[in-house]
């Protein structure tokens, strides 16, 4: 395999501008890597011809001195983003043959800046999952393996294909989405960097909706700098999205490497959950020590409503999903199963098109929104959500950011948790609070557990203060010096 696939995004951009190699060469190397890595099932659709065409155009712009910020860099796109003329399935049979006539704002921004599309990445169906096992196109396999076993491991979800592709050097970076941890948890389980930006920082237009008030696009990347480069291009106000923030986009990469001396970093006591693995606890302590060494002041803070975050999330998210997924009826687009009556068409189409986890969440959402239960569940959840956001507001009066673990465990085996939805939902215990409060957060690889599997640290910031979390994440990245890559067992 070509060494061009081992480049960081920043390194590739620099090399392309210096004309040490061409975009066509870099893209061809990644296409070959993707073909060799099909056992990972990271892609649901490969687009090599389109990629090479885009790369050739990028090379022409590079030669003419008209390069954009991402000119010629090949990346992967989570299949939740609509891409004009390229199938966009959201990991579901109900959209298996859907080819959008329009481009999502985020991907349009990336193509505007010169990025090259290698294909569409596998994901949990409609982004509902924490293991990438609910995909209608089969589970993604984590490139990492335990030292003790060759068992196939989950890359996390719902952006498992994006995380696996980045970890296996199949792409220079990838788009992803985060509704309750779906960027950060896969990043932690694959040794990659994942950013969930402030709600509204990236446009949701053209992204298949799961939970409208929680969904947010962000990057998965090989380094903090790469993530900052991608987020700069992905961000921006969009009049087509009523929740898009009219805020200037900072030069995020400029904050990577900036001194963090004097910053106050909070450690929330409620995140020390019962039965936390010793490796997670030890990593958190190392993270605290690394930030102290970098000149930060560590402050213990309280987020008292944290214990309600998971139940609140699993009321609000299914409620919004049940509304958003009502549009898949077999009439306008996507799968259609004919029946003698209109009701039969609806029922048969949805029964055949939706997977079990999607059906479960739609039913939960319909229940909590139904007459007699709306006040008891949904409205109460919204009130507690406000309290969770208030906890963060109070904490940020004392500190500049928070440091927590990203996930409560390392990568787990495929199939180990599919029979217990509650055990699966607990994977998001450290991440859902951020979505409920609309805050930015980043996961950075901090080391390996005893089995040789990666673990992540999470930095949470104030709304619209991605700058601080990039600076702190870069300090953690430098101290951790995480350079380990998974063995390429899939090429053997």
Q: What is the pLDDT of residue 274?
A: 80
Cα dist. 271→5, 100, 357, 431, 433 in Å? 37, 42, 27, 10, 11
Known catalytic membership, residue 78 = yes
Question: Which residues, including other chains, have CB under 8 Å from residue 62's CB and lie 6 or more apart?
Answer: 16, 17, 19, 22, 23, 71, 72
Tell me what the mean pLDDT of segment 412-423 comes to. 85
Question: Across the strands, what pairs with 221?
Answer: 173, 193
**Highest CATH level, class, for 3-263+399-491:** alpha beta
Question: Which residues, including other chains, have CB under 8 Å from residue 271's CB and lie 6 or more apart?
Answer: 303, 306, 404, 405, 430
Looking at the chain, the whole-number percentage of residues with pLDDT higher than 70 is 100
| Cα–Cα nearest to 132, from 197, 93, 189, 61 | 189
Q: Are 245 and 198 within 8 A, CB to CB?
A: yes
Q: Is the predicted pLDDT of residue 266 greater than 60, yes or no?
A: yes
Q: What is the pLDDT of residue 333?
A: 85
Q: What is the pLDDT of residue 2?
A: 60
Looking at the chain, the whole-number percentage of residues with pLDDT higher than 90 is 93
Q: Is the predicted pLDDT of residue 327 greater than 60, yes or no?
A: yes
d(CA 216, CA 235): 11
In this structure, the strands spanning 401-405 and 264-268 are parallel
Question: Which residues, including other chains, have CB under 8 Å from residue 386's CB and lie 6 or more apart?
Answer: none
Confidence category of residue 423, pLDDT binned at 50, 70, 90: confident
d(CA 188, CA 353): 31
Q: What is the pLDDT of residue 424?
A: 81
Active-site hit among 154, 182, 235, 244: 182
Q: What is the pLDDT of residue 222?
A: 98
Tell me what the mean pLDDT of segment 430-459 comes to. 97
Q: Is the predicted pLDDT of residue 312 greater than 80, yes or no?
A: yes
Q: Are 125 and 135 within 8 A, CB to CB?
A: yes
Known catalytic membership, residue 130 = no
Question: Which residues, including other chains, have CB under 8 Å from residue 178's CB and lie 6 or more apart?
Answer: 159, 184, 194, 196, 215, 216, 217, 218, 431, 435
Q: Are 484 and 191 within 8 A, CB to CB?
A: yes
Q: Is the predicted pLDDT of residue 54 greater than 70, yes or no?
A: yes
Tell me what the mean pLDDT of segment 2-14 comes to. 94
In this structure, the strands spanning 454-461 and 173-178 are unpaired
Q: What is the pLDDT of residue 420?
A: 79
Known catalytic membership, residue 261 = no
Q: Is the predicted pLDDT of residue 276 greater than 90, yes or no?
A: no
Any long-range contacts for 14-21 (C-beta under 8 Å, 24+ apart)?
16/58, 16/62, 16/67, 16/71, 16/72, 16/73, 17/62, 17/67, 17/71, 19/62
Cα dist. 205→94, 103, 144, 212, 407 in Å? 20, 9, 34, 11, 29
Active-site hit among 78, 120, 196, 222: 78
Q: What is the pTM of this model?
A: 0.97
- Which tokens hold the place of 241? 């999205």
Q: What is the pLDDT of residue 1?
A: 42
- Work out the mean pLDDT of the chain and round it to a whole number: 96
pLDDT in tens, 177-212: 999 999 999 999 999 999 999 999 999 999 999 999
pLDDT in tens, 104-152: 999 999 999 999 999 999 999 999 999 999 999 999 999 999 998 999 9
The domain spans of the chain are: 3-263+399-491
- Burial label for 42, CB within 10 Å (0-12, 13-18, 19+), is buried
Phi, psi for residue 447 in degrees, rounded to 5: 160, -170
Q: Is the predicted pLDDT of residue 30 greater than 50, yes or no?
A: yes
Torsion angle, alpha carbons of 95, 98, 104, 106, to 10: 60
Q: Is the predicted pLDDT of residue 25 greater than 60, yes or no?
A: yes
Cα dist. 30→130, 216, 450 in Å? 27, 27, 31
């Amino acid at each position: 395999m070509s060494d061009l696939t081992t480049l960081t995004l920043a390194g590739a951009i620099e090399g392309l501008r210096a004309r040490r190699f061409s975009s066509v060469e870099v893209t061809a190397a990644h296409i070959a890597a993707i073909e060799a890595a099909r056992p990972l099932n990271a892609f649901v659709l490969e687009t090599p011809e389109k990629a090479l065409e885009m790369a050739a155009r990028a090379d022409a712009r590079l030669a003419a001195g008209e390069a954009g910020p991402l000119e010629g860099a090949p990346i992967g796109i989570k299949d939740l983003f609509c891409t004009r003329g390229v199938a966009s399935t959201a990991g579901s049979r109900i959209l298996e043959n859907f080819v959008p006539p329009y481009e999502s704002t985020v991907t349009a921004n990336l193509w505007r800046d010169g990025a090259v599309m290698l294909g569409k990445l596998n994901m949990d169906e409609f982004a509902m999952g924490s293991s990438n096992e609910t995909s209608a196109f089969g589970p993604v396999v984590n490139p990492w393996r335990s030292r003790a076993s060759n068992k196939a491991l989950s890359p996390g979800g719902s952006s498992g294909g994006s995380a696996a592709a980045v970890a296996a050097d199949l792409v220079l970076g990838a788009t992803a989405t985060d509704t309750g941890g779906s960027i950060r948890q896969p990043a932690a389980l694959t040794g990659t960097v994942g950013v969930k930006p402030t709600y509204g920082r990236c446009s949701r237009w053209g992204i298949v909706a799961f939970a409208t008030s929680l969904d947010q696009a962000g990057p998965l990347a090989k380094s903090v700098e790469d993530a900052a480069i991608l987020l700069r291009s992905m961000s921006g106000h969009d009049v087509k999205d009523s929740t898009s923030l009219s805020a200037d986009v900072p030069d995020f990469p400029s904050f990577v490497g900036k001194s963090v001396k004097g910053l106050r970093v909070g450690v929330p006591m409620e995140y020390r959950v019962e039965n936390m693995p010793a490796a997670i606890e030890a990593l958190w302590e190392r993270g605290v020590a690394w930030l102290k060494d970098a000149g930060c002041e560590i402050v213990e803070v309280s987020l008292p409503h944290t214990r309600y975050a998971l139940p609140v999330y699993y009321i609000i998210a299914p409620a919004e999903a049940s509304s958003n997924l009502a549009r898949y009826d077999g009439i306008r687009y996507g799968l259609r199963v004919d029946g003698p009556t209109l009701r039969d068409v609806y029922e048969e189409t949805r029964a055949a098109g939706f997977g079990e986890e999607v059906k479960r969440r739609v039913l939960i959402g319909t229940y909590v929104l139904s007459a007699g239960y709306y006040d008891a569940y949904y409205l109460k959840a919204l009130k507690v959500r406000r309290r969770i956001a208030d906890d963060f507001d109070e904490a940020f009066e004392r500190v500049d950011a928070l440091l927590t673990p990203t996930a409560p465990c390392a990568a787990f085996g495929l199939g180990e948790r599919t029979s217990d939805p509650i055990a699966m939902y607990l994977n998001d215990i450290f991440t859902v609070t951020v979505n409920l409060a609309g805050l930015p957060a980043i996961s950075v690889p901090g080391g390996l557990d005893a089995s040789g599997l990666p673990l992540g640290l999470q930095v949470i910031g104030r709304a619209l203060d991605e700058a601080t979390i990039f600076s702190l994440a870069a300090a953690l990245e430098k101290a951790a010096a995480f350079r380990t890559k998974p063995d390429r067992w899939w090429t053997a």
